[in-house]
Chain A
Amino acid sequence: MALLEINNLKTYFFTRNGVVKSVDGIDFSIEKGEILGIVGESGAGKSITGFSILNLIDDPGKIVAGEIIFNGINLLTLSEEKLEKIRGNEISMVFQDPQTSLNPVISIGDQLIETILYHNKKVAKKDARKTCLDILKLVGMPAAEKRMGSYPHQLSGGMKQRVVIAMALLNNPKLLIADEPTTALDVTIQAQILYLMKKLSKDMNSSLILITHDIAVVSQLCDKIAVMYAGRIVEYGRKKDIIFNPMHPYTKGLVACLPKLNDENDRLYQIPGIMPSLLNLPEGCYFKNRCDYADEECNTYPEKKQIDKRILFCHKVKEN
């Protein structure tokens, strides 16, 4: 049985200007010990997917359909009380914006200790403190001991990011959702943290959903990849298929956009055009206006196709 299974999830925002379908009928699953990467254009619905799993959608947003089955239980049927026990404990999340998970008026040491005590009141404060220090060192916080008393505004962007990662790892979650966890870090620290996450996932047989725009990172870390565009998954499958043999024209474009150190071009390749506003989606395939292969066929939204182990939504890719 998969650890997490998402079926036909739909999360909509009911705004004054219309209904924003941020997540519009997506399916994926993740096994114990597996690492899934979610990539896609900015605004495609990656973060909202993460929030939905934890049922953290605020007004005017609403999960309007679907199932989120974690360990055999549909989280959407649980009471807020039960969910609170799962959040930050069995499932934890590193938020894209470290500011939202850090309280500006409490020192980071106290915030970390509090996270442990909240879910396990029996731990002695001294032991909790030690665990926190260890984990801060693990995520590469320089002078961890002296930083315990620091307030968030005294830390650099990357340091805040590391505190938030430490916080998410404190209770050994079975599933960690990490939303752009290393965007503010230089490559040497990024590599350390990614390595740490991978190691923890393998050692504890825990699972990871990594939301990122960095295809290279996804490629280094993930077993499976879901590519999102305008609220929907357009391609989904094993890492090696998606990265080294992308089939959907959008995925192909993403891989081509990667900056390369040894690239001789003066300009970066860019996918022409921009992602349409979710309030103003075209008829048919959402990518068609930016796609080199599009024709009349693309005026209807493509059906789901399965090619080997890959799921794909595109008229122009033919089986075999």
Chain B
Amino acid sequence: MSQSQRKLVEVKNVVKTFSVKTGTFKKRDLYALNRVSFDIFKGKTLSLVGESGCGKTTIGKVILGLHQATNGLVNFRGKDISKLSPHKRGAIQKDIQMIFQDPYSSLNPRKKIKTILEQPLKIHTDYKKKERLNTILSLCDNVGIDHSYLNRYPHQFSGGQRQRIAIARAMILKPELVLADEPISALDVSIQAQIINLMMDLKEKYRLTTLFITHDISVVKYLSDHVAVMYLGEIVEYASKKQLFNSPKHPYTQMLFSTVPDINTPLETDSVLKAGEIQSPIDLPQGCFFANRCPYKVPSCSAAHPEILDVGDNHLVRCPNC
């Protein structure tokens, strides 16, 4: 395998269950991740798309070490880290950073922005004060944070401004792998464009590797090399960006493409009503998880759970009928 195709992360059959209370005395297992496997190549971006609650954040947190996998492996540079919490990971810890979905609770409310950005540099580098400040200022320019904001506290910012601060904090140590959990969904389009373009530049400049978690398929196009589509805790389709955009195969992927809001189309009442209810990760159906919302459903779909299959050129699809 060529150098450019070196695997940085290998996620193998990762299962994550949570025990949840479903009644006064009842506890049940919730299947957040069902045997999830994918690779992320060095210097490439894998986008993970999928509906709300399908397990995107959970897989991010497993890779970061905030959740421990119930089963399966996460190899980072060839070493299994799936059972190690961040502080047991030694040097690896600073190489994996996450931009959290919720910019409100991920920033310490009692610390000034400058302190929030400076702390990782103090801990992990031997930069002098001046050098730290310069690093912070140039990063602020890159992500669109006005220098005068550095002396303010997180609550003094709007949602989008906080999100940019969170991005800056994840980028400040130039990590090898960034887990970006919906980094731009709270941002207006002009800032979205800035951040996407910025991430593209960083990718080129530092050969940054990214797991880009999003529910918005229209931005995936600009950033990704590969795309994995998740549904109810499992991968239902995986392909190179080009293949996926040229010929989305899984019915859920197709539905995602056809529902993207556009200024010219009215709110599609038909498809909206037909969309159906999402199955519960507590009582997983026996057959295909998507069957109850699928327009192409046939009786066999509810009988057996489909495996994910290669339909050619490493384009993987979990649907025997396409």
B262 touches which one: A188, A213, A216 (CB < 8 A)?
A: A216
Tell me, yes or no, whether B82 is within 8 Å of chain A by CB.
Answer: no
Interface residues of A in 172-213 (CB under 8 A from B): 180, 183-192, 194-195, 198, 213
> Inside 8 A of B283's CB, which chain A residues have their CB?
143
B187 touches A42 (CB 8 A): yes
Q: Give per-residue flags for A148-172: 1 if the beta carbon is below 8 A from chain B beta carbons, else 0.
A: 0110001111110110000000000
A180 touches B159 (CB 8 A): yes
A277 touches B148 (CB 8 A): yes
Q: Which of A44, A185, A243 has the most chain B CB within a 10 Å cutoff?
A: A185
Tell me, yes or no, whether A99 is within 8 Å of chain B by CB.
Answer: yes
Given contacts A17-B148, A189-B51, A198-B267, contact A184 B215 (CB under 8 A): yes
A259 touches which one: B160, B186, B192 (CB < 8 A)?
A: B192
> Inside 8 A of B279's CB, which chain A residues have their CB?
142
Given contacts A41-B188, A188-B256, A276-B146, contact A213 B160 (CB under 8 A): yes
B261 touches A158 (CB 8 A): no
B22 touches A146 (CB 8 A): yes
Q: Looking at the assembled complex, report how far the CB atom of B244 sits from the nearest CB atom of chain A, in whole angstroms.
A: 12
Q: Give per-residue flags for B136-178: 1 if the beta carbon is below 8 A from chain A beta carbons, else 0.
A: 0000000010101101100011111101100000000000000
A217 touches which one: B163, B222, B261 (CB < 8 A)?
A: B261
Q: Which of A46, A150, A270 has the most chain B CB within a 10 Å cutoff?
A: A270
> Inside 8 A of B151's CB, which chain A residues have their CB?
17
How far does the alpha carbon of A124 sit from the alpha carbon of B33 in the complex, in Å? 39
A42 touches which one: B101, B161, B197 (CB < 8 A)?
A: B161
Q: Looking at the assembled complex, report how far the CB atom of A224 sits from the nearest CB atom of chain B, in whole angstroms.
A: 15
Given contacts A158-B52, A192-B275, contact A142 B159 (CB under 8 A): no
A: number of interface residues (CB 8 Å) = 74
A213 touches which one: B28, B146, B187 (CB < 8 A)?
A: B187
B: number of interface residues (CB 8 Å) = 76
> Inside 8 A of A66's CB, which chain B residues have their CB?
none
B189 touches A213 (CB 8 A): yes
How far does the alpha carbon of A277 sit from the alpha carbon of B194 in the complex, in Å? 17
Q: Looking at the assembled complex, report how far the CB atom of B187 sits from the nearest CB atom of chain A, in whole angstroms.
A: 6
Tell me, yes or no, whether B185 is within 8 Å of chain A by CB.
Answer: yes
A270 touches B190 (CB 8 A): yes
B272 touches A191 (CB 8 A): yes
Given contacts A268-B193, A268-B222, contact A159 B53 (CB under 8 A): yes
How far does the alpha carbon of A195 sit from the alpha carbon of B270 in the complex, in Å? 10
Tell me, yes or no, whether A289 is within 8 Å of chain B by CB.
Answer: no
Tell me, yes or no, whether B218 is within 8 Å of chain A by CB.
Answer: yes
> Inside 8 A of B188's CB, which chain A residues have their CB?
39-42, 213, 254
> Inside 8 A of B104's CB, which chain A residues have their CB?
97, 99-100
Interface residues of A in 42-96 (CB under 8 A from B): 42-44, 46-47, 96
Q: Looking at the assembled complex, report how far the CB atom of A177 sits from the nearest CB atom of chain B, in whole angstroms.
A: 15
Can you spell out 9 A-B residue pairs with CB atoms less than 8 angstroms apart? A42-B158, A44-B158, A143-B281, A150-B20, A191-B259, A217-B261, A254-B188, A269-B193, A277-B146
